[in-house]
């Protein structure tokens, strides 16, 4: 499948940048003429992926997050959120609803939310190397009468 457009972002892993990432990817997604619901789904999934990286990847040190979004033929949207943080020891366990390593103030639903708002979710991680979350969503767009 041929890529028709893409964006690449890099920013510090700080909570103030989550909204920036969400807005930038939403603006890019708008090129596919999504429905309001599709755009909301993308924004929610990106927010969760970026927040996970901010909260879990770097613990007590500075780091960066890369967000790459690409549109492929047929309005297939792929968004990759990558960190170079501590990684995830057991991805399967981390993807279980209510599992968290961040304490009582976190619900442990990040991956569950990402899955529910995307067509496909892929999580790759290596301890000490980092984590890459790939969100795939087909944008059907607005129906014309």
Is 5 labeled as catalytic in the residue annotation? no
Q: Which of 52, 75, 80, 84 is catalytic?
A: 52
Q: Which of 17, 48, 80, 84 is catalytic?
A: 48
SS (H, E, C) the chain: CCEEEEEEEEEECCHHHHHHHHHHHHHHHHHHCCCHHHHHHHHHHHHHHHHHHHHHHCCCCCCEEEEEEEEECCCEEEEEEEECCCCCCCHHHHCCCCCCCCCCCCCCCHHHHHHHCCCEEEEEEECCCEEEEEEEEECCCCCCC
Is 126 labeled as catalytic in the residue annotation? no
Is 10 labeled as catalytic in the residue annotation? no
Which residues are designated catalytic?
Answer: 48, 52, 106
């Amino acid at each position: 499948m041929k890529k028709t457009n893409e964006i690449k972002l890099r920013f510090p892993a700080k909570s103030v940048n989550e909204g920036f990432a969400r807005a930038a990817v939403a603006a890019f997604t708008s090129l596919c003429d999504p429905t309001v619901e599709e755009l909301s789904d993308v924004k929610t999934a990106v927010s969760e992926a970026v927040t996970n990286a901010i909260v879990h990847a770097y613990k007590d040190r500075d780091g960066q997050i890369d967000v790459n979004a690409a549109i492929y033929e047929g309005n297939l949207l792929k968004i990759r959120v990558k960190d170079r943080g501590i990684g995830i020891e057991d991805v399967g366990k981390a993807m279980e609803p209510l599992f968290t390593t961040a304490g009582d103030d976190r619900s442990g639903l990040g991956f569950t939310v990402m899955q529910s708002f995307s067509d496909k979710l892929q999580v790759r991680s290596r301890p000490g190397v980092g984590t890459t979350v790939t969100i795939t969503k087909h944008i059907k767009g607005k129906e014309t009468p």
